[in-house]
Chains A and B, each alone.
Chain A
Amino acid sequence: MADQLAIGSRRGLKPALPLLLPAYLWLTVAIFLPLSAMVFFSFMTDLPLAGKEWTFTLGNYAAFFSQSLYSTLLLSSLRLGLEVTLWCVVIGYPAAYVLAKVLKGRSREAIFLLVILPFWSNGLVRIFSWAMVLREGGILDTALNAVLPFKINIDLMYSYPAVIIGLVHSYVPYMVLTCYLTLQAIDDSLIEAGRSLGASRRQVLWRVIIPLSMPGLIAGAALIFVPVVGSFMEPRILGGRTGTFYGTVIEDQFVAVFNWPLGAALSFILLAVVLIILALAAPVLRRAG
């Protein structure tokens, strides 16, 4: 019996190879090659275009450490990532809980659709529609002034809150989806067992439901934090002058200044910092979960 099983698993790998090949090819072409090129660029003095002279250098990385601007921007981007992630937890987790544990049948499907709708709309459209809502004399301003007896002036456009609102709106569906999946897998009888043992609803939430949905929270947080730290579109459009972040500086290197080597180096520094943060956070979060 054991022999048969062993043979079975050894035979199982070979036929799988042709099936795996397209995936590996795709990974090589789409991720590994461009990334290697970028690593290469990040050590060059200039782009090897139009016959320009170039040599290898560490200067692009040194620039990050010699100019405090970059690390300041990186810190504010990390703070942005943290804040957006927190808001996504605050908004997304309760929504996921209601979807998974309170609503049933038809209404669940309908609400689910509303939650993932932003996924299906174009990112730029999404951001510009927020711009229309948030600007002075915009939809929010007009609506509030129509309802409220006194005159207020809402001009959130080109501010830090506008950036947060835009980013939270873009990324909250990730949190809802990952949390929904883990919450839905929690058997209702666990909740009832907790109650029967004398725990209030709140105690059951803190001691049973949240620990059991930790994997979803962590996955959601990672999915949101990483891209938000490097984001540039929302900060640029909704943040205006206040919207200068690490991601927008990198973008500038690529599309405006054409200093690809510096942009690449800054990107890899960001990647390293994010990986270090995730590595440091992992054991803490695992213990919590």
Chain B
Amino acid sequence: MAGVQVANVSRSFGAHKALDNVSIDFADGGFYALLGPSGSGKTTLLRQIAGFDFPDSGRIAIGGESVERVPVEKRRIGMVFQNYALFPNMSVADNVAFGLSVRGEAKATIATEVQRALDLVQLGKLGGRKPHQLSGGQRQRVALARAIVTKPRVLLLDEPLGALDKALRVDMQIELKRIQREIGITTIFVTHDQEEALTMSDRIGILRDGRLVQEGPPEEIYDRPQSEFAATFLGDANIFRGDATGSGIKLPDGTTIAASTGASVPAGAKASCAVRPERIRISTGATKPDPAGANMLTGQVSKRIFAGNNSTYFVDRDGQTLKVIVQNTGAERLAEGQPVVLSWSPGSTVLIAAA
């Protein structure tokens, strides 16, 4: 096992910068999610680490050893492709055996290792099948078994669950996480799905236009996003823009919003505040007052979406539509068109310096 260090890596295709000075430290044994919109450079970064493609500048090290001049087959990595890339002419067992067999391991060793890997992904009985005789989830497991049977130093996964339906996806997330813990392998996982990134990983890196926007544990990124992009890309957020006051911001209409987390922005500079929809309390204003110092706004419900365990209210306020998520506690539901009071604590408000 080994950690991976990516330092100041850039890669351009023609005039397009697919990776722009990206530096990330992937800790040994950690589960790292790379998240970002389409075209943000996630696959490109993974391909640099794997060695399918080489950076224009910057350094990549695996286990402390610089790998810029090391070809793919010598890097001892395991890779799971989005389309699984199983060899269609080989049986499941032969697919899994491939990496050991090209290394010239003894037949008996290969057989036991393959069986162990297939058991690990719970496909012990399907070794004789051909890939086209498997379901999507089973193929996914074979691809995983094939990637880990060689005991790679790093496991790279490029949207491995992208082609699965929701239920199977959740199953595979749990499975993947279990296997990763069991063998303790450094794992870098590319995904489109923010929920997947939040639930599975120890750390998340958010990429945008080839740049690393923010990086850290899921809680930290969710609770203290450093940019509007990070706030809205990972989870939902209400964004207010105005001028910094030193303890929050002042909106163009004069309303002040207090914020006690996030960046410190000098008074007078442009800044914004992000508030998660589930942190906002919504009421008709008739009930008990909020604690002193709470942020408070009034508005009008424009729409309500019922989703079983919660409801999302869209509240219009001064040309802006705010989103509020309320748990379904059995309390009375608010009607569309009703005037409401929104309140939330400064501690739930993240101050963000303007880009």
Name A residues whose Cβ lies closer than 8 Å to a Cβ of B: 187, 189-190, 192-200, 203, 207-208, 211-212, 289
Inter-subunit contact A203/B102 (CB<8 Å): yes
Within the assembled complex, what's the spacing in Å between the Cα atoms of A195 and B98?
Answer: 11
Are A193 and B102 neighbours in the complex by a CB distance under 8 Å?
Answer: no
Interface residues of B in 252-273 (CB under 8 A from A): none
A197 CB contact (under 8 Å) in B71, B83, B89, B102: B102
Asked whether, in the complex, the Cβ of A194 is within 8 Å of the Cβ of B77, the reply is no
Whether A189 pairs with B81 at a CB distance below 8 angstroms is yes
Can you list 15 A-B pairs, Cβ within 8 angstroms, ordered by A?
A: A187-B85, A189-B81, A192-B72, A192-B85, A193-B79, A195-B71, A195-B72, A196-B50, A196-B72, A196-B77, A196-B79, A197-B98, A197-B150, A198-B73, A211-B89
Once the chains bind, are A200 and B73 in contact (CB under 8 Å)?
Answer: yes
B99 touches A198 (CB 8 A): yes
Contact of A189 among B72, B83, B102 (CB under 8 A): B83
Say if the beta carbon of B76 comes within 8 Å of chain A. yes
Residue in A closest to B89 when the chains form the complex, CB atoms: A211
- Closest CB pairs A-B (n = 4): A197-B99, A193-B85, A189-B85, A196-B79
A208 to B146, CA, bound (A): 15
Contact indicator per residue, chain B 306-324, by CB within 8 Å of chain A (1) or not (0)? 0000000000000000000
New A-B contacts (14) at CB < 8 Å, excluding given A192-B50, A200-B102: A190-B87, A194-B87, A196-B50, A196-B79, A196-B147, A197-B78, A197-B99, A197-B146, A197-B150, A198-B74, A198-B103, A199-B102, A208-B87, A289-B89
Q: Which residues of B contact A (CB under 8 A)?
A: 50, 52, 71-74, 76-79, 81, 83, 85-89, 98-99, 102-103, 146-147, 150
Contact partner of B102 (CB less than 8 A), chosen from A190, A192, A207, is A207
Q: Do the beta carbons of B98 and A196 come within 8 Å of each other? A: no
Q: How many Å from the CB of B90 to the closest CB on chain A?
A: 8
Q: Would you call B73 and A195 a contact (CB within 8 A)?
A: yes
- CA gap between A93 and B152 in the complex, in Å: 34
In the complex, what distance in Å separates the CA atom of A189 from the CA atom of B52? 10
Query: Chain B residue with minimal CB distance to A214?
Result: B89
Judging by beta carbons under 8 Å apart, are B85 and A212 in contact? no
A187 touches B52 (CB 8 A): no
Query: Is B85 a contact partner of A199 (Cβ separation < 8 A)?
Result: no
Instruction: State the CA gap A186–B231 with chains docked (Å).
Output: 41
Considering the chains assembled together, what is the distance between the CA atoms of A192 and B52 in angstroms? 7
CA distance A115 to B142 in the complex (A): 40
Q: Give bound CA distance, A289 to B78, whole Å.
A: 27
B98 touches A207 (CB 8 A): yes
Within the complex, the shortest CB–CB distance from B340 to chain A, in Å, comes to 51
Residues of chain A lying within 8 A (CB to CB) of residue B102: 194, 197-200, 203, 207
- Say whether A199 contacts B73, CB under 8 Å: yes
Hey, which chain A residues are within 8 Å of B99, CB to CB?
Answer: 197-199
Nearest CB of chain A from residue B187's CB, rounded to whole Å: 15
B329 nearest CB across to chain A (Å): 45
* Most B Cβ at <10 Å: residue of A192, A193, A195, A200: A193
B residues in contact with A192, CB < 8 Å: 50, 52, 72, 79, 81, 85
- By beta carbon, the residue of chain B nearest A189 is B85
A189-B74 Cα distance, complex, nearest whole Å: 18
Residue of B nearest to A191 (CB): B85
Instruction: Tell me the smallest distance from the CB of B57 to a CB of chain A, in Å.
Output: 23
**Chain A residues positioned under 8 Å from B79 (CB to CB):** 192-193, 196
A190 to B52 alpha-carbon distance, docked (Å)? 13
Point out the residues of chain A lying under 8 angstroms from B83, CB to CB: 187, 189
Give chain B residues whose Cβ lies under 8 Å from the Cβ of A187: 83, 85
Complex interface: chain B residues within 8 A of A199 (CB): 73, 98-99, 102
Are A198 and B87 closer than 8 Å at their CB atoms? Answer: no
A187, A195, A207, A211, most chain B CB atoms within 10 A: A195
Bound CA–CA A192/B77 (angstroms): 12
A214 to B147, CA, bound (A): 26
A203 to B87, CA, bound (A): 14
**CA of A192 to CA of B84, assembled, Å:** 11
Residue of A nearest to B81 (CB): A189
Q: How far is the CB of A207 from chain B (nearest CB, A)?
A: 7
> Within the complex, what minimum Cβ distance (angstroms) separates B185 from chain A?
14
B88–chain A nearest beta-carbon distance, Å: 7
- Chain B minimum-CB-distance residue to A196: B79
Q: Which residues of B contact A289 (CB under 8 A)?
A: 89
Contacting residues, chain B, for A195 (C-beta < 8 A): 52, 71-73
Report chain B residues within 8 Å CB of A208: 87
A246 CB to nearest B CB, Å:
37
In angstroms, how far is the closest chain A Cβ from the Cβ of B198?
A: 28
Given contacts A187-B83, A189-B83, A199-B73, contact A194 B89 (CB under 8 A): no
Q: Which residues of B contact A211 (CB under 8 A)?
A: 89
A208 to B102, CA, bound (A): 11
Interface centre among A190, A193, A196, A200 (most CB of B within 10 A): A196
Which A-chain residue is minimally distant from B158 (CB atoms)?
Answer: A189
Q: Please report the C-alpha to C-alpha distance between residue A196 and residue B71 in the assembled complex, in whole angstroms.
A: 9
B314 to chain A, nearest CB (A): 42
Residues of B within 8 A of A189 (CB): 81, 83, 85
Contacts of B77 in A (CB 8 A): 196
B82: nearest residue on chain A (CB-CB)?
A189
Q: How far apart are the CA atoms of A193 and B98 in the complex, in Å?
A: 10
Find the residue from A197, A207, A289 having the highest chain B CB count within 10 A: A197
Q: Which residues of A contact B81 (CB under 8 A)?
A: 189, 192-193
Give complex CA distance A203, B103 in Å: 10
Whole-angstrom distance between the Cβ of B81 and the nearest chain A Cβ: 5
Which residues of the other chain, A, contact B150 by a CB distance below 8 angstroms? Answer: 197-198
- Closest Cβ of chain B: how far from A190's Cβ, in Å? 5
